[in-house]
Chains A and B, each alone.
Chain A
Amino acid sequence: MAAETAQNLEALASQAQTMMSVFTKAGYDAVAPSIIQPADVFLDVIGESLRARTYVFSDQDGAELCLRPDITVPTCRLHLERHADPATPARYCYNGPAFRYQPQGATASHPREFRQAGIERFGDKSREVAEAETVAIVLKAIEKVGLKDWTLRLGDLGLFSSVLDAAGVSPNWKKRLDDAFLKPLSFRDALKGFASGARVASPGIPEELLASISRDDREKSEAAVAVYLEENAIELIGTRSLSDITEHLIVIAEDRQEKPLDARAIELIARYVAVSGPATTAGDKIAALLKGAANGAGMALETYDRRLALLSNAGIDLDRVTFSAEFGRTLAYYSGLVFEVNAASLDAKSPVANGGRYDGLMRAAGAAVDVPAVGAAIHSERLLATTVKRAP
């Protein structure tokens, strides 16, 4: 890795110190979570694909552990250890190593061992304000160590929901599209399916059950499923309850009743997903798209404009900000705003910082409820590469 020379080590340490002092001065509490973490939490959050990118191993007792692939999840765990109430507001900052397996081989911009400096804030009541402040302080830290020519790229996974509302998509299909949005392939299938009309259930799902249940009478529906199981001598086993199973059957039954999604709504969704460009122009594009929407622009545009205004108030030059509706779709745990900071001297696939909102993560780490959470991590080696003067 890049930091193997003493000179580099020193430069990285001094860079980290500068950034940490920006964070601690702003009231962030410096923490140092464990490098070796239980693999469980990461696997539960990210899924099996984690193994492809993380050093997972077993210890002598057979416990599954990993070298932390990021410091966000470890910070969530640390917060839970400190506070009985996970929603207790708190701000943390950290600097330390993280590890990722690089399937294409480790390179300078994608090392297997790298240093992350970052911040996390939990329990903020005003989400948008917390987000704008997070972006602003990350940019401040980056500028302080000498990177001036940054650009900021935004995405918003929550905005998609508002666009679906505006397009007049039924609640059932909205939920499905919302879920599928994170998986571009299923999303395309789902959208195509909705365009052609009602769903055809898998033939293996009992027709008599689908015909006999409805959302209007949940109790009766659940009873019908119970009777079916009993008549067919099927025992209810496993983690999913009768209610879970009935709920999914109802969704399938509802899908079969759905009218095809109208062509205008599909067009609107497809064009929204394609929106990408300077943040201010993207706002105009979204406004133009929503002008013809079935339910009017609704919350979507308001949310978007408010975000830009807050960023601008925090001192961020909006001319350096771009927006991409698709951005964030394939990142595992984000739930709202996503952002990354790029440097002119590095390629776009190697951002110097990224972050966003991940309200569901604390629950995956063990909390009983979702907790508002937003944070960002800075890739120290990349950042250093942008500011170090190369020897002639």
Chain B
Amino acid sequence: MSKLTLAIPSKGRLMEQTTDMFARAGLVVRKVGHVRGYRGEIDGLPEIDVAYVSSGEIAAALKAGSVHLGITGEDLIREGISDAATRIRFLQKLGFGFADVIVAVPACWVDVATVKDLEEIALPFRRLHGRWPRVATKYVNLTRRFFAANGFGDYRIVESAGATEGAPAAGTAELIVDITTTGETLRANGLKILDDGVILRSQANLCASNAAQWTPELEKICDELTAKLSASVPEKSA
């Protein structure tokens, strides 16, 4: 019988929190073979193959259907899969990895509190500086979709791999789209979130790929795992 493949984050805070959550559900995840290897299994659930995958690539694996299940942030899913609603089933919110994807502008822009205000300054900005305001982000797709839904198109994206919050002060962008949990880093960099600038309230999710090969047996194992995990998720997040 074929096994159910579950992708979980291979390093960092998300990996620790995933392991903790499994532990709370009474499930012990163990690496198979070499300690630095990338395969694992769950005690008592021999039908599940665990694949340790970097969290950024879990969305791609789910999209391609190379894994049945994956645990990763909703932000990465929505960014990496434009038609997530048809390719992915969100089975369970997991109550960790909280992060809001937000639009932030310099706090000194006391004249800009909403996307509409932002839209209003774009043209005067262009007249003065010869270009549209630049948005630094690694969430290129989320940014485009959010602004398009708000009828705002007069900007330009500058892709940013890291330290995005520093871009406005450094003069490489006028505003940013990034994730934040407490807002502390934003404040430290002289930024504020637009009042209607929350694009997505993200947390870690257990997701199923519609592109993977499913059998009734695998569906049953999936249901079993989901039930165990959901029992260990704090009430307010579920």
Contact = CB atoms under 8 A, between A and B. Distances in A.
Contacts of B112: 205, 248
Contacts of B107: 234-235
A248 B151 contact: no
B110 A44 contact: no
A262 interface: no
Contacts of A252: 111
A364 interface: yes
B125 interface: yes
A244 B106 contact: no
Q: How large is the interface on A (under 10, 10 to 19, 20 to 34, 35 or more residues)?
A: 20 to 34
A202 B131 contact: no
B174 A203 contact: no
Interface in A223-279: 225, 228-229, 234-240, 244-245, 247-249, 251-252
- Majority SS at the chain A contact face: helix
Given A237-B169, A238-B168, A206 B132 contact: no
Interface centre among A49, A186, A202, A245 (most CB of B within 10 A): A202
Report which residue of A209, A236, A248 has the largest number of chain B beta carbons within 10 angstroms of its beta carbon. Answer: A248
Contacts of A248: 111-112, 120-121, 124
Interface string A53-81: 00000000000000000000000000000
B147 to A, nearest CB: 8
Contacts of B174: 238-240
B108 A202 contact: no
A228 B110 contact: yes
Given A235-B190, A238-B171, A364-B130, A245 B110 contact: yes
Contact of A205 (B110, B124, B154): B110
A377 B112 CA distance: 40
Contacts of B108: 229, 234-238, 240, 245
Contact of A44 (B109, B117, B128, B132): B132
A186 B194 CA distance: 20
A249 B111 CA distance: 5
Contacts of A239: 125, 129, 171, 174
A47 interface: yes
Interface of B: 106-114, 116-117, 119-121, 123-125, 128-132, 144, 147, 151, 153-157, 168-169, 171, 174, 190, 194-195
What are the 5 tightest A-B residue pairs by CB atom distance, in nearest-first order? A204-B113, A44-B131, A202-B113, A248-B111, A238-B106
